[in-house]
Amino acid sequence: MSIKIRCQRCRKKISIDEGFAGGMCRCPYCKAITKAPRSRGGLSRGARPERPERPDRPQTPRAAGTGEQPGPVESAGAVPLARPVRVQGIVALVLTGFLVLLMALGAILYLNRFYKSGGPGSAGGVSKGISTGGGPETMPDRVEKFTNKGFRIAGMSIKPPVVYVIDSSSGMHLLFDPAVAVVRLSIRTLSERENFNAIVVREEGFKTLAAGWVGGGSAGDDKMKDFSGSSLQAGAADLRTGLVGAIAMKPASIAVLSTRAVSDPEGIIRQARQGGVAIFFVLLGAETEADEVMKKIAVQTGGRCRRFSESDVLDWLANEPSLP
């Protein structure tokens, strides 16, 4: 049997035979002499034996002036050498390996998220004015932002039937026509069997393209062209009213094109979630306040939010084939 003790100098764990309990031992690490405590039951059955007198060792003379003789002095070689307890090193190695593994895993997760987001200032079409509900992300090349190459509108895949809501307030006076062009190009990504409707929000309420659903494609685009031509910008259009009207149509998705935040976002979120409607936002030169409000609505309804500067939209339209 052996007992484990801790060196009084270096504090490392060492092991010694139980027979040496109550005696002295030498630490295998720092070489310091450490006292081994007695076993709980007093002297153990293997108590340390007395060393026989060596005939060749000179007797220590009796101390002068006393009737007692000093105890024997142990040489360095007479103190038993304890054994190192290897488990403490193994535990340290295991803990170190676990820490390194955690650090490596964290680095992999960070790099994965970093490259998915495109990284700061990355190439490949990242626009400085673009935001999403989950943070910045890589966008397609400029000429692909609103085309049908895997997307429905502004690089976002929306599920039909969809209702397009276009803000026509005075803040949109330079962006209303570009917003209509964005919607028309999105309609052309739909097939004739995929339905849509459109709402233009005006000062006196909102105007709807049709009483029911309209099929997509070029025929649907022709109807949208006629509808948007009769809509004029108003002074203080109520965007919330248009969103409530769009939710009431029970579409799968709503795409909103605006420059400002909608009022009562909590109410819009509640109604959209009750109807199972995902709301997507294309913010054109929006302010920070509008950006944050629309992101919140998009995230909590299962949609997405993207913001483009006015120059981004106008430059893109200048490079797109002209609509009929």
Extents of the domains making up the chain:
142-319
Instruction: Give how far Cα 147 sits from Cα of 99, 236, 306, 317, 319, Å.
Output: 48, 31, 15, 11, 12
Q: Angle at the Cα of 269 (from 290 to 163), degrees rounded to 5?
A: 80
Mean pLDDT value of segment 186-201? 92
Mean pLDDT score of the chain, rounded to an integer?
75
The reported pLDDT for the residue numbered 11 is 84
C-alpha 158/C-alpha 160 separation (Å) is: 7
Q: At what angle do helices 176-187 and 217-229 cross, to 10 degrees?
A: 160
The reported pLDDT for the residue numbered 144 is 39
Higher-confidence residue of 251 and 98: namely: 251
C-alpha 189/C-alpha 204 separation (Å) is: 31
Higher-confidence residue of 44 and 81: namely: 81
Query: Which pLDDT band, with edges at 50, 70 and 90, does 113 fall under?
Result: low
C-alpha 276/C-alpha 253 separation (Å) is: 9
C-alpha 14/C-alpha 6 separation (Å) is: 6
Other beta carbons within 10 angstroms of residue 252's beta carbon come to: 15
Query: Which pLDDT band, with edges at 50, 70 and 90, does 142 fall under?
Result: very low
Classify strands 162-167 and 253-258 as parallel, antiparallel or unpaired.
parallel
Q: With a threshold of 0.85, does the pTM exceed it?
A: no
Amino acid identity, residue 154? A
The reported pLDDT for the residue numbered 230 is 65
Query: Which pLDDT band, with edges at 50, 70 and 90, does 221 fall under?
Result: very high
Structure tokens at 10: 């270096």
The reported pLDDT for the residue numbered 145 is 43
Cis ω before 161 (30° cut-off from 0)? yes
Higher-confidence residue of 141 and 308: namely: 308
Cα Rg for the chain, rounded, in angstroms?
Answer: 41
C-alpha 39/C-alpha 22 separation (Å) is: 8
Task: Specify the DSSP class assigned to residue 31.
Answer: -
C-alpha 212/C-alpha 209 separation (Å) is: 9
Q: Which superfamily is assigned to 142-319 in CATH? A: von Willebrand factor, type A domain (3.40.50.410)
How much of the chain exceeds pLDDT 90, in percent? 26
Higher-confidence residue of 130 and 207: namely: 207
The reported pLDDT for the residue numbered 70 is 40
Mean pLDDT value of segment 151-156? 76
The reported pLDDT for the residue numbered 139 is 36
Query: Is a pLDDT exceeding 80 seen at residue 243?
Result: yes
Lowest mean pLDDT among 118-122, 190-194, 197-201: 118-122
Query: Is a pLDDT exceeding 60 seen at residue 59?
Result: no
Mean pLDDT value of segment 285-299? 83
Mean pLDDT value of segment 298-315? 85
Query: Is a pLDDT exceeding 60 seen at residue 127?
Result: no
Q: Which of 74-78, 86-90, 285-289, 291-295 has the highest mean pLDDT?
A: 291-295
266-286 pLDDT per residue, tens: 999 999 999 999 999 998 876
Query: Which pLDDT band, with edges at 50, 70 and 90, does 40 fall under?
Result: low
Q: Which residue has the tokens 């403490």?
A: 88
